[in-house]
Amino acid sequence: MAKVAAIVLAAGKGTRMKSELVKVMHPLSGMPMISWPVNVAREAGAAVITLVVGHQSEKVREFFADQGDIVFASQEEQLGTGHAVACCSEALSGFTGTILILCGDVPLITPETLQTFLDYHQRQLAAVTVLTTCMDNPYGYGRVIKDAAGHVTEIVEEKDASAEQRQINEINSGIYCVDAGFLFTAVADLKNDNAQKEYYLTDIIKTAVAERRTCCAFPIADPMEVMGVNDRVQLAEAGRIIRVRINKALMVAGTTIIDPEATYIDHGVVVGRDTTIYPNVCISGDTVIGDNCVIESSAVIKGCKVGDCVTIKAGSVMEDSVIGNTVAIGPMAHLRSGTELGDEVKIGNFVETKKIVMGAGSKASHLTYLGDATIGSHVNIGCGTITCNYDGVKKHRTVIEDDVFVGSDVQFVAPVTIGRNSLVAAGTTVTADVPPDSLAIARAPQVNKEGWTLRKK
């Protein structure tokens, strides 16, 4: 097969988004919108991908900075789609083969469709092939005009179309395969004598027809795949479609998702078999979840590695943490960055953790803050325990060795170390290290003043 290079048009601002952020950088399932067509072009075999950037080009350049197959072409003024492609002639000079043209705001096209589209174009030996679809309401799109043999003779924009042409419901998706040699000579000669005073890429069809080159249409059945995102209503709709696709792939691979329309799993997240996910769960970042887990409603999980047989109860929030097997978390626990939990750990309701390591079988069942701590295995942390890790200037570590029992309402004024197999009595404020096998108790002796309230009244 001939070589393929891609161009992704992304210089426009996206005025209808009513946003400070350029349209193509708005996130869709964890990636900027433009990443979707870029990834699809890559999967379809494009060896080099040229992004036409203009508005907030620095944001787009920064995002793709470490992707070696991406090159940039700047379009300072947005003079039309034809002008945008002409801006790539330097970046792609010397390239011979097929150029696949995509739009940064058409994110739902699939790799399978693009692959068959490319194959079709190359089999037809066409100069230009346009990906088209039929729409019930084609308003706003370029209409595809064909001759009796079914070859494309022209694409007419809504604003330039006659009443009769507006009746045509086969539309231009804005996705094309074009022979590289033809493309750059054709776009160099475009005129802007049309209703929008723009250099229309679609006018290369007229050039091709005049030069007796073949122009084909490749119609696809599902208009949804070429839906453009112009405003936030369409952004949400595209998000819904991607969400359903991601969740379907997970279900096919063995994950139970109770309500796939109401489960928010980003691109790239891995979930194991026989794991059940309840509605309203959000899983993002570089997250991997094992087999046989249960994730209850409203859990928010970002950048976590979670083992097998883990229960994450309702309302728990976790980020950048590593969780062993058979762990129970929540409801309403907050695992902040750098939490590492061993197997069979239990973190109960209203427990917050940050930068801690907790060994196998240890428990903090209720209402506790554990930060900057190393906790051994089989440690019991009583309700209301606090690691006082911050002295106002610096953070300090608490070390609690294996088999320690911490009673309720204990404060550890770090830095402090509790030796293995010790017991810290309820209500103790620990300010000095505790040797192994000891009892640590620090509370004022209790005084009962009998009859006191009667005398007061």
Residues at the site binding ligand UD1, with contacts judged by CB under 6 A: 9-12, 52, 75, 78-81, 83-84, 103-105, 141-142, 155, 157, 171-174, 200-202, 228
CB of 170 to ligand UD1, least distance (A): 11
Residue whose CB is less far from ligand UD1, 5 or 277: 5
Alpha helices in 370-429 (DSSP H): none
Strands 152-156 and 98-103: unpaired
71-76 — which CB contacts under 8 Å span 24+ positions? 73/7, 74/11, 75/11
CB of 58 to ligand UD1, least distance (A): 16
Taking Cα atoms as reference points, which of 107, 10, 8, 108 lies closest to residue 48? 8
- Distance CA(65)–CA(103), nearest Å, equals 20
Instruction: Determine whether 148 is exposed, middle or buried from the number of CB atoms within 10 Å of its CB (0-12, 13-18, 19+).
Output: exposed
Find out whether 207 and 147 touch, Cβ atoms under 8 Å. no
Residue whose CB is less far from ligand UD1, 158 or 409: 158
CB of 39 to ligand UD1, least distance (A): 16
Residue whose CB is less far from ligand UD1, 66 or 77: 77
Q: Reply yes or no on whether 366 is catalytic.
A: yes
- Indicate which residue of 151, 267, 366, 396 is catalytic: 366
Buried b (16+ CB within 10 A) or exposed e, 340-375: bbbbbbbbbbebbbbbbbbbbbbbbebbbbbbbbbb
Taking Cα atoms as reference points, which of 272, 323, 330 lies closest to residue 299? 330
Residue whose CB is less far from ligand UD1, 157 or 225: 157
- Distance CA(5)–CA(440), nearest Å, equals 71
CB of 11 to ligand UD1, least distance (A): 3
Residue whose CB is less far from ligand UD1, 140 or 435: 140
CB of 33 to ligand UD1, least distance (A): 10
Residue whose CB is less far from ligand UD1, 26 or 302: 26
CB of 210 to ligand UD1, least distance (A): 18
Residue with tokens 């017991």: 423
Token readout for 100 is 């696949």
Which residue lies nearest ligand UD1, judged by its C-beta? 142
- Distance CA(410)–CA(388), nearest Å, equals 10
CA distances from 359 to 32, 192, 306, 378, 412 (A): 38, 70, 15, 7, 18
Q: Which residues are catalytic?
A: 366
